[in-house]
Amino acid sequence: MRMKVFVIAALAFVSLVSVIDGSEHEAQLSEFVNDALFSSVSSKQPSQPQPLMVPITVINGAAAKGAVCLDGTSPAYHFHPGSGSGANSWLIHLEGGGWCNTIRNCVFRKTTRRGSFKFMEKTLPFTGILSNKPEENPDFFNWNRVKIRYCDGASFAGDSQNEANQLQFRGQKIWLAAIEELMSKGMQKANQALLSGCSAGGLASIIHCDEFGSMFPKSTKVKCLSDAGFFLDAVDVSGGHTLRNMFGGVVTLQEVQKNLPKSCLNQLDPTSCFFPQNLIQHVQTPLFLLNAAYDAWQVQESLAPHSADPSGSWNDCKANHARCNSSQIQFFQDFRNQLLNDVKDFSKSSPTGLFINSCFAHCQSERQDTWFADDSPLINDMPVAIAVGDWFFDRKTIKAIDCAYPCDTTCHNLVFNVGRSTVVGSQYISESDDTSTTTTMIYSSQSSRLTFPALYLLSALFPTSMFLLHLRIEVLSRFFSHST
């Protein structure tokens, strides 16, 4: 029963994303862009619904419990109540957005929505797994759906502070305060619950999966979904360990080891226990891993970051997989093989689920175009939403692993249009908070790709991201009103 969701999906162009202030904003920005796409289409197609906009809720009394964002402001979430058969079902989705691993980039983060309530959007569109429409989200549309905002910089798992720089690292307390409040709002009566999250939130959903399960009686069906949260402890293109070094900073600065499984810490160092490949064997609650085999964030920031490739010899390839030469593709195949090897034992356990498609994508559950749409990504003719739903409700065993690149023609690959200088999403791991670098990221299918030189030009002219975003949405709307 896949309904037509996007008329413009036929254009194969789905979203445009700015990484001007860190690729961590991609999911957020893409939601705005989806919004713009919906708007431009709905004027021509009165039957196309607007995305649900959900207002923010501050967590009551969180500050009194020490559960605060990096800058000491209150944490928050967005909640849309369930109805009908979903009235006692709960989806808790943890927002993503990179990490901060140094005093300097944590201090910077206090001035963004990833570190302070002050800068958070006060309403968010609920799309993909958060949508309230059965034709967009067939299994979870009428559940109670919650998106918990991410403002601690350590995947909701740190617990420390730095007084000299007025930094609070309270991810674990934020997580607990949010769950406690939602329990009091009816979640304690849940008969089924799913903890999900994307990117840094996808890692958080693995870390907190058993804790979440333990908060419900045995009679409650509880499962977890990690979307684009499988960050590999991989070697980068220069033979270094970029991501391990970054995770090491996050774990040490925010004292994340306090909240990692003891069973892992008995065997490995705390940084290793922040990597999903070493965590998943300790998770008892049924877990589903949804991940692109060539996760676009990891390609950009872990495998071929500027620091590992100062001459920029990977720039063309990492911006667009179609421009990789055979040895570069082989590097990505080795990465995929490492991922498949790391999930081999996990996949043998019956309650687990897998959807590893051979795409250059990142976060496929929050976006409508990748979750459930006419041209959304498939493995064996199965879209992501159906795979996750079948697994949650035990309708089918789902261990979907795609054939290797380039066999999959249903991907929505991310393509980057790199601006003046070369660094992409440098804010994650770079010491410089260089917001003058502009990169345009385009989600496109393999069949056709549209690039937007006008947008690229605008992004070079106006370095303020919000301003840019609005400009881009305007241009997009104009583009689509001409083309539809």
Ligand X SMILES: *[C@@H]1O[C@H](CO)[C@@H](O)[C@H](O)[C@H]1NC(C)=O
CA distance 357 to 382: 11
| Tokens 């199965």, residue located | 382
| H, E, C per residue of 259-289 | HCCHHHHCCCCCCHHHCHHHHHHHCCCCEEE
Crossing angle between the packed helical segments 465-483 and 26-42, to the nearest 10 degrees: 30
Distance of closest approach, residue 319 Cβ to ligand X, in angstroms:
13
Nearer to ligand X, 228 or 304 (CB): 304
Instruction: Select from 219, 266, 327, 380 the one that contacts ligand X (CB under 6 A).
Output: 327
**Nearest distance in Å: CB 308, ligand X:** 12
Looking at the Cβ atoms of 302 and 315, the one nearer to ligand X is 315
Full DSSP string of 28-63: HHHHHHHHHHHHHHHTT-TTSPPPEEEEEEEPTTTG
Specify the residue, 210 or 316, whose C-beta has the smaller distance to ligand X. Answer: 316
- Is the bond leading into 406 cis (omega within 30 degrees of zero)? yes
- C-alpha–C-alpha distance, residues 384 and 292, integer Å: 11
Q: Which C-beta is closer to ligand X: that of 116 or that of 302?
A: 302
Comparison of 304 and 388: residue with beta carbon closer to ligand X: 304
Q: How far is CA 305 from the centre of its chain?
A: 19
Binding mask of the shown chain, residues 212 to 241, with x at each position contacting ligand X by CB under 6 A: ------------------------------
Q: Answer yes or no whether residue 326 interacts with ligand X by CB under 6 A.
A: yes
Q: List C-alpha distances in Å: 169 to 67, 78, 157.
A: 9, 22, 9
Query: Shortest approach of ligand X to residue 1 CB, angstroms?
Result: 45
- Footprint on residues 10-49 left by ligand X (CB under 6 A): none
Site string for ligand X, 140-169 (x = CB under 6 A): ------------------------------
When the beta carbons of 101 and 328 are compared against ligand X, the nearer one is: 328
Size of the site for ligand X (CB under 6 A): 5
* Candidate ranges 74-82, 259-267, 321-329, 434-442; the one touching ligand X (CB under 6 A): 321-329
Shortest distance, CB of residue 320 to ligand X, whole angstroms?
A: 14
What are the DSSP E strand ranges found in 407-451?
412-418, 439-445
DSSP annotation of 102 reads S
Please choose, out of 81-89, 285-293, 324-332, 351-359, the segment that lies near ligand X by the rule CB under 6 A.
Answer: 324-332
* Residues in 103-122 that interact with ligand X by CB under 6 A: none
- Smallest distance from the beta carbon of 416 to ligand X, in angstroms? 17
Instruction: Give strand ranges (E) for 228-363.
Output: 287-292, 353-357
| CB of 200 or CB of 235, closer to ligand X | 235
241: which 2 tokens? 């360990």
* Amino acid of residue 222: V
The minimum distance between CB 334 and ligand X, in angstroms, equals: 14
b/e per residue 44-65 (b: at least 16 CB within 10 A): eeeebeebbebebbebeebbee
Of the listed pieces 153-161, 169-177, 319-327, 463-471, which binds ligand X according to CB under 6 A? 319-327
3-state helix, strand, coil in the chain (%, to 5): 40, 20, 45
- Cβ-based burial of 330 (10 A; exposed 0-12, middle 13-18, buried ≥19): exposed
- 266 part of the interface to ligand X, by CB under 6 A: no
Options 328, 357, 410, 430; binder of ligand X; rule CB under 6 A:
328
Residue 303 is encoded by which pair of tokens? 């495998």
Q: How far apart are CA 326 and CA 328, in angstroms?
A: 5
Min separation Cβ 329 and ligand X, Å: 9
- Minimum CB distance to ligand X, residue 238 (Å): 11
Closest approach, Cβ 358 to ligand X, in A, equals 20
Q: Tell me the C-alpha distance between 106 and 188, whole Å.
A: 34
- Integer Cα distance of 348 and 240 in angstroms: 31
Question: Could you list the active site residues?
Answer: 199, 295, 362
Q: Judged by CB, which is closer to ligand X: 55, or 406? A: 406
Candidates 186-194, 211-219, 320-328, 472-480: pick the segment binding ligand X (CB under 6 A). Answer: 320-328
Task: Choose between 162 and 307: whose C-beta lies nearer to ligand X.
Answer: 307
313 binds ligand X (CB under 6 A): yes
CA neighbours closer than 13 Å in the CB half-sphere of residue 379: 24
In which element (H, E) is residue 90 found? strand 89-94
Instruction: Pick between residue 325 and residue 380 the one whose CB is nearest to ligand X.
Output: 325
CA–CA separation, 247 and 242 (whole Å): 9
**Interaction residues for ligand X, span 68-87 (CB under 6 A):** none
Cβ at position 404, least distance to ligand X in Å: 18
Binding site for ligand X (CB under 6 A): 313, 325-328
